[in-house]
Amino acid sequence: MATVKAPITHVIFDMDGLLIDTEKFYTEVQEIILARYNKTFDWSLKAKMMGKKAIEAARVFVEDTGISDSLSAEDFLVEREDMLRTMFPTCEVMPGARRLIQHLHATGVPICVATGSHRRHFDLKTQRHGDLFSLMHHVVLGDDPEVKQGKPSPDVFLAAAKRFEGGPIDPSKILVFEDAPSGVQAAKNAGMSVVMVPDPRLDSSYHKIADQVLSSLLDFNPSEWGLPPLEKEAS
């Protein structure tokens, strides 16, 4: 029998870019705003922003691009909001997310979401996916009072570990799924194992600290982590 990487009992999912394809909307809006300043948005900046709380990502955006004298982080958030508000409800579930969530739920593995997104955005993004998110034991949002700092701080994952039945759960028994460098770092800072499912455009130097890197959730093999195996015929 193959060795188990870590004996996992609980699973925490990131949301944006991992369960739902919302990261492309942030990218699009940021490209539009930067074009006004004759600047281009690239993946090295994207890598620093993704996964963070809105205001923390906004500060990185205006400072790194050198536009902070013309546009404050707060005004940037106001400006992008009109576009995001119409985009978020159209988002799709990422490949393999539905199968994995349904499998873990059906086999009794406690699952939850830990996201940098605040409540208003969470509601817009999950509008059409209530069936899936209702399978989560709980959801911890970026504007939760217990989340003092966004990822890469471990706050959101530690709050998520506390809220499982019988919590706090030992971090070494928790597997986190993440797409963002800040999120992978946050999970490691919380003492958890982490599977990274990065966008292929993200520099591979960000893969190093993840325990496993997959190109899609479809490639995840629960048995490697001591979790109930997938049915072969499941799709």
Ligand X SMILES: O=P(O)(O)OC[C@H](O)CO
Question: Given the rule CB under 6 A, which residues bind ligand X?
Answer: 14-17, 26, 50-51, 115-117, 180, 183
Note if 179 is an active site residue: no
Residue 231 beta carbon to ligand X: minimum distance, rounded to whole angstroms: 28
Is 179 one of the binding residues for Mg ion (CB under 5 A)? yes
Residue 72 beta carbon to ligand X: minimum distance, rounded to whole angstroms: 19
Note if 42 is an active site residue: no
Is 187 one of the binding residues for Mg ion (CB under 5 A)? no
Nearer to ligand X, 9 or 117 (CB): 117
Helix and strand numbers, DSSP H then E, in the chain: 9, 6
Amino acid at 228: P
Side-chain-side CA neighbours of residue 26 (13 Å): 25
Give the integer Cα–Cα distance in Å for 61 and 81: 15
Is 16 one of the binding residues for Mg ion (CB under 5 A)? yes
Strand 174-178 to 138-140 pairing: unpaired
Task: Show the CA angle centred on residue 39, arms to residues 33 and 41, nearest 5°.
Answer: 70
Among Mg ion, ligand X, none, partner that 222 touches (CB below 5 to 8 angstroms by kind): none
Nearer to ligand X, 51 or 198 (CB): 51
For helices 181-189 and 155-162, angle between their N-to-C axes, nearest 10 degrees: 60
Q: Which residues bind Mg ion (CB under 5 A)?
A: 14, 16-18, 51, 179-180
